[in-house]
Amino acid sequence: MERIPEAEVSQWLERVPQWRREGIEIARTFTFRNFREALAFVVHVGLLAERIDHHPDIDIRYKQVALRLSTHSAGGLSEKDFELATQIDQIAPK
């Protein structure tokens, strides 16, 4: 998987406006009503990640879930990161 050229990253970020750029990653934090909902969301994210064979860094803190995406083999952001971010946004609470 090839890294997205730096000049194109902002265009890709427009597709996932709730995600923010942090260095060579994109990140988003989700807040739930309780730990059970947060954990269920993480399980769903894990199933999505397995399906496309692209895995986020996940941090669970009680009812908050922070996700970070980058393509380690590409040394930065790739189309896979934005594909997974889009799928995660579709299952995220509104």
| pTM to 2 decimal places | 0.94
Fold of the domain built from segment(s) 21-75+83-91: Gyrase A; domain 2 (3.30.1360)
Residue 1 pLDDT greater than 90, yes or no: no
Closest CA to 69 of 18, 1, 58, 34: 58
Q: pLDDT of 8-53, one tens digit each?
A: 999 999 999 999 999 999 999 999 999 999 999 999 999 999 999 9
Q: pLDDT of 50-91, one tens digit each?
A: 999 999 999 999 999 999 999 988 999 999 999 999 999 999
Residue boundaries of the structural domains of the chain: 21-75+83-91
